[in-house]
Chain A
Amino acid sequence: MIGARRTTCTFCLNGCESAVVFDGYQYRMEYVEDGKVNLGRLCPRGNSANLIIDHPSRLSYPLLDGRETNWSSALEQAKGWLASMVPEQVAVAYSRGLTDRELGLVAGFAKAIGTKNLVCGHIEPENSFNYKAEGVKPATLDQIRGAKAMLLVGDVFMTSPVAAGPMIDARYADADSRLVVIDSIRTRQSGFAHVFIQVQPGTEPFALMALAGMLDRKLKGIDVDRMARLAGADKAKLEAAAKVMGSGAAGFVGSAMHLGRVRYPVLHSLASQLVAQKAGMSFVGFGEGRVPIGPTSFPRLCQAVEAGSIRMLFWFGGLYPYSYPELVPEFGRIEHRVATSIFLPGSALPGYVLPVPSELEKETVGHSYWGQVDRSPVATVYSGARDVSWIIEQFAPGVGPAALDEPAASEPNDIVSRAAETAAGYSTPEAEWTLVGEKRAVGIKGIYDAEDWVNMSPADAARLELCDESYVRVDSDASGDEFRVHVTDLVPAGVLAIGVNRHSNRAMFPLKTGRLEETAIPPTPVNVAKSARLAKPAPEAKAEA
């Protein structure tokens, strides 16, 4: 294949159009100025499409217990495993990176083998935007362009940088336009805000509920003062935000959730939508991908595995958290495992890992925030990889797609009572250090940024006698690592922020399963110590050596 192929970016739901050129030797990106959503613009992730296609860690052969094997023996043995199981002992999980048709086939596969254990493995907080509040309208691109009042929760700009373009234009278009940002750390996005409300890590939903209460005084059951206090938010700023959002100006609410920065993902989604509803505005839930919630929740799967009732697991799509033994130790109890992957997993995994094509090599009709998108393959299927549909066909010939249900929309009163229940169970953490996850658009497969650094406040750096480029050891309950320090006032004292695209950084955040059956990846308490490692050898040490 030689020439330019147009496609739609797969790395977030903004649906930017781009082209990939193959000149007979290498893939290159090209920018298509007539792209409706993005006018040819791409963020760092969109720019890396060509590098992902022939990334050195692409998987091109099946792995058994981390060692190379071949397709025929892999399928034969895995089929034998499946045949030896009672259907209820098998669980089928799906995650990001599958086309709508493939998702349907995975559901059909679970049905065909007769198991009810069909699980959504995409537990990243952004997937909770699947939970909808009643009567909230999705925002259109024209509404974004013409917005006079905007509320952004979390770092929308780094989640979908190209979507930031129209928002910034709208912010500057009129001297009366107002931008409100709610977040637990300052981000570059907060630099654009007229009102920036800083909250305690993971307590955005409380600030949002307080805001909803201010917007609709008739809404019963919200203790505005208490909610603002729990969030650690400045009440005067919340009032200023309520004035902006309640002004009747055209606008929207945009919300994003980040791994390691959200305590209550479902409430975060619902509270953001409640504010949109009370302000009479439309809503967008920003994220990189969305997968239906499905019949069995992830905590239930873990419980069943713990109880010994699951003996075989199929995992289709993105490998987080499947490939993190430190996060889901339960999976170690499963006898037989079959997973699919685009890349070589970060560590040797028990069972089979089968190579599949990336989304860039698949044809699909997908969805973006702004509607439907067509995606055509920009490269031939990677050598040695096989489609998920082909793999399913080998295990269950003739299987057809089945539907995956969506959760019912919540009413305002449900949201209020959910918030009250959550607030009752929340107490301000007392740990000396809290680690939060930060969305960095540029951190993808370590291509542009290794994400081996941590943001630290100047006060903390002074206390530990650290400066830029010194090293620090950070240990959480799940994992630990050494990071290069970047001293910045983006983070408050006592809070550290790391990028969450890197495999080992994600492993730092233990999973929490709540009473409401949701999985959260909240900010985590950590121990911090000065590292013996120095950025550069001190001159004297060098001389001695």
Chain B
Amino acid sequence: MAKRIVLRLDHCIGCRACEAACMSRFKKEARIRYGEVSATVFVPLACRHCDEPLCAAACPFDVIRRDEETGIVRQSSFHCVGCRSCVMACPFGVMDTKLRRCVSQKCSLCSDRAEGPRCVATCPTGALQFLEDRELEETRLGVSVTGKSAHWRRP
């Protein structure tokens, strides 16, 4: 069953540790990014590893492919020409427009690490979670916090 990075927005403090963990491992490549929802609410932008990835469809050289077994949408950076088609195609804007070493920066869910993505391991408040689709439904993430009443929600 594919696992995904999911976010509990109510726990994010905008410290950018996720980005730091990624950059610390992948030599300054920020494969997870962040955006501002409002001045005090920050949202990390992690790759969704879509079932039908548009980045892969847009890649002129078939460098990005989805591994059907693990669900990971993976890029072979060796073959990437840095055309940024994937960056423009991504509907969630999770890929940085800046190239590093002339290739685009694509999350691989830290498949080199058995315990899962580093951004999730490092998240100081547990805002990022690495869950299977089934677990996601069971834990009803977000619903438990934001749904109860207005004062549970952050401004």
Contacts and interface: CB of A to CB of B under 8 A. Distances in A.
A165 B15 CA distance: 12
A194 B10 CA distance: 14
Contact of A188 (B13, B24, B121, B149): B13
B77 to A, nearest CB: 17
B82 to A, nearest CB: 21
Contact of A51 (B24, B40, B122): B24
A164 interface: yes
B125 interface: yes
B123 interface: yes
A473 interface: no
Given A43-B15, A194-B151, A31 B20 contact: no
Contact of A29 (B25, B115, B148): B25
A442 B17 CA distance: 7
Interface in A28-79: 28-29, 31, 33, 38, 40-44, 46-48, 50-51
A interface, size bucket? 35 or more
A187 B42 CA distance: 11
B53 interface: no
Given A42-B122, A164-B125, A448-B23, A47 B17 contact: yes
Interface SS of chain B: helix, strand, loop or mixed? mixed
Interface residues of B, number: 33
Contact of B152 (A47, A175, A186): A175
A296 B21 CA distance: 41
Contact of B40 (A162, A186, A447): A186
Contacts of A489: 39
Interface in B81-126: 115, 118, 121-126
Contacts of B134: none
Contacts of A488: 39
A441 interface: yes
A339 interface: no
B12 to A, nearest CB: 8
Contacts of B40: 186-188, 190-191, 490
Contacts of A442: 15-17, 19-20
A23 to B, nearest CB: 11
A165 B40 CA distance: 17
B115 to A, nearest CB: 8
B126 A165 contact: yes
Interface string A158-191: 1001101100110010010000000000111111
A157 interface: yes
Most chain A beta carbons < 10 A, residue from B11, B42, B152: B11
Contacts of B10: 168, 172
A38 to B, nearest CB: 8
B155 to A, nearest CB: 6
A161 B124 contact: yes
B148 to A, nearest CB: 7
B61 to A, nearest CB: 29
B98 to A, nearest CB: 14
Given A29-B24, A187-B40, A442-B15, A175 B124 contact: no
A372 B124 CA distance: 21
A192 B154 contact: yes
Contact of B21 (A47, A168, A441, A449): A47
Contacts of A172: 10-11, 145, 152
A117 B123 CA distance: 44
A42 B17 contact: yes
Interface string B24-60: 1100000000000011111000000000000000000
A326 B115 CA distance: 49
Nearest to A39: B126
Contacts of A441: 15-17
Contact of B124 (A43, A189, A190, A449): A43
Interface in A444-469: 447-449
Given A47-B122, A48-B20, A161 B149 contact: no
Contacts of A188: 13-14, 40-42
A98 B145 CA distance: 43
Given A41-B123, A192-B154, A490 B39 contact: yes
A175 B151 contact: yes
A175 B148 CA distance: 9
A31 B126 contact: no
Contacts of A190: 40
B121 A40 contact: yes
B13 A44 contact: no
B21 A29 contact: yes
Contacts of B118: 29, 31
A448 B124 contact: no
B8 to A, nearest CB: 10
A51 B14 CA distance: 21
A533 B153 CA distance: 41
20 contacts: A31-B121, A40-B121, A41-B17, A41-B123, A42-B17, A43-B17, A43-B124, A44-B15, A44-B16, A50-B24, A157-B13, A164-B15, A168-B125, A187-B40, A188-B40, A189-B13, A192-B13, A442-B15, A447-B23, A489-B39
* A-B pairs with lowest CB-CB distance, top 7: A191-B40, A44-B20, A31-B121, A161-B15, A161-B124, A188-B14, A47-B20
Interface of A: 28-29, 31, 33, 38, 40-44, 46-48, 50-51, 157-158, 161-162, 164-165, 168-169, 172, 175, 186-192, 194, 441-442, 447-449, 488-490
Interface of B: 10-11, 13-17, 19-21, 23-25, 38-42, 115, 118, 121-126, 145, 148-149, 151-152, 154-155
Given A189-B13, A448-B20, 19 more contacts: A29-B118, A41-B125, A42-B124, A43-B17, A43-B20, A43-B122, A43-B124, A46-B122, A48-B20, A48-B24, A161-B125, A162-B124, A168-B10, A172-B11, A191-B39, A192-B13, A192-B154, A448-B23, A489-B39
